[in-house]
Structure 1
Amino acid sequence: MTRPRKELVSVQDTPYYHVVSRCVRRSFLCGKDPVTGQDYEYRRQWVEDRIRILSSLFPIDICAYAVMSNHLHIVVKLRPDEIDSLSDKEIVNRWLCLFKGPLLIQKWQTGENLSEAQLDCVNDIIKVYRKRLGSLSWFMKCLNEPIARQANQEDNCTGHFWESRFKSQALLTEEALLSCMAYVDLNPVRAEMAPTPEESDHTSIKERLKPKFDITSAIESQKELLALRHFHSTIKPLATFEGDVRDEEQHGILFNLTDYLELVDMAGRILRDDKRGAISAHLPPILDRLEINKEEWLDNATQFEKLYLKKFARKRRRASAA
């Protein structure tokens, strides 16, 4: 018997969850259908773009993701501390990037004078928005529904695109989190879609190793999110690896990035009877394949978020100058 979502997602127990959504009848609606030959590979970029944009609006960190041909995996960390720190104005600004909102909220946002009764109504609405922005269910709703509408419009049809509501799995221990992240990042390798993790398109591990996310093209692919243009320089990077536990507040993954890459590489070489692919045993270790200088790698691993944001700031300045 199925259980209500509120019983499956509890931040008090764990902030980490593995989420899965599958296409209806597990059809290749985001890839190349081997039966018909129809190629929908570009739709995987739609999904990846939307995951990254939504993570900048919702207080949800993306630990790992893999967009496959007929399903997607996301490992998320819920951040109730972040939603509590946002002002009412920030809550409304974020919500209106996704939805038009009632006229009363639009008037409040533009600074129009409102009566006391109207302000009370506005406060009630903002409380609802704050709760929704902290909800994993609303995150997935804002991810899956627009992708389904966009694909159906392109196909000139109606009906379900996703098989059912998303499925979520609580990750209660550090071992469960790392095992699940490695499983997600290795999905294309196991499906023989890529020979190595660093060559796996539309995955978090490739984005970590070779950052290429373009917020401008992402917004263009999700045209209804034009209000997101002010997020150009503040797009949220993936959840960072923070290494050892320190005597201070930490929000990242309590593991070393180089160790995680070696874990993925080792796990990917293990042959599994139920999976087609594996990393070739003849390939050198992942850090050798990437030809990364150790000192440079340590700088990138410990300052990933700062370097990531600097890159987008420089790109934005160059675009403005042009």
Structure 2
Amino acid sequence: MWSSDSDSSDLEILFALSDWDDSDDSRDDEIALVRYKNRVNYTKTLDAHEFLLRFRLDKTQVESLLGEIYPHLRESGARNNGISPLHQLLLTLRFYALGSLVSVGQFIGVSKSAANQIVRNVSCAITNLCSKYICINNTTEDFYKIAQFPQVLGVIDCTHIRIHISRRKVPEEYKNRKGSYSINVQAVCDANLMFMNIDSKWSGSTHDATIFANSVLKAQCEKKLYGNKWLLGDNAYPLKPYLLTPILNPQSKSEELYNESHKKTRDCIEQCFDLWKRRFPALGLIIRTSILSANAVIIATAILHNICMTNNVEDVPPEVKIPDGEQVPVQDALEVPKNIELETLLANHFKVEDI
């Protein structure tokens, strides 16, 4: 049974600890000597606001999520004093909130290596829900309300998530233009700031256009799976019949109006990224796990972001300071001639006299 003892000192413990980058495996043995405290049922001992602050989901959503991923989890062995699926989930959510394996391990009373394993297992379990919670919808009306840009399927962009792999050399392709190591994550969101598509398997040096060119999404668009609707992207992407980008050198009022509407509508993806990283601060710090685990964390938090948005879970401030985002230098713009779809849109919708 879970203890109901007070855990008022937990935050002090968490912030007193610090993570390390290049420790030996023997350090895990030191952490394993930590005195196991009775594991608390935080759903009982924390009020609603404190629970949301610590775990980034409310109690209702944690209970629901646990039910969905329970078949993919098992209770940990005796080495870590038996960690229930609930505490595995709470430990993982705590990692998403703090970004420190040492701190979250101490939070539950396990070693750093055990915490790392739990975060990986739970994150992978959550990714099994991807097709349920991250999918393309064909609603365009909400986008039109933003800046009167018609027939928008979604807005697309990439963002960098910084990574660090202890005791191992990170492949050079993960070094981005700024010189740090990252995963370049491509995502599409809707007008309500929910993810409709996400791809986290690309290294930080990969150009946005390359990611899109090799994506399932591009193949689907080529097959006209979503009909006569457009993705909106910046000039790192190629102009396509199904992907519209800004006009680099507008020569008319119609082209200027097109660019203005395009920019306002495309801003949804930046807002989505900002909200996602604020809700799960580990994404704005440096993920110190294996690359495969980092990929799972990225997808899992995107799923949780959508769950929170769907259920109107409050966006509470993070407990940790999130540094400014990974400002990778702007990629070279792709200078391409207008296509017939863009010409038709300019003539039929962005004519000056119709605005």
Same fold (TM over 0.5): no
Q: Could you say which TM-score interval applies, normalised by the shorter chain? A: under 0.3
Task: Give the TM-score normalised by the residue count of structure 1.
Answer: 0.24
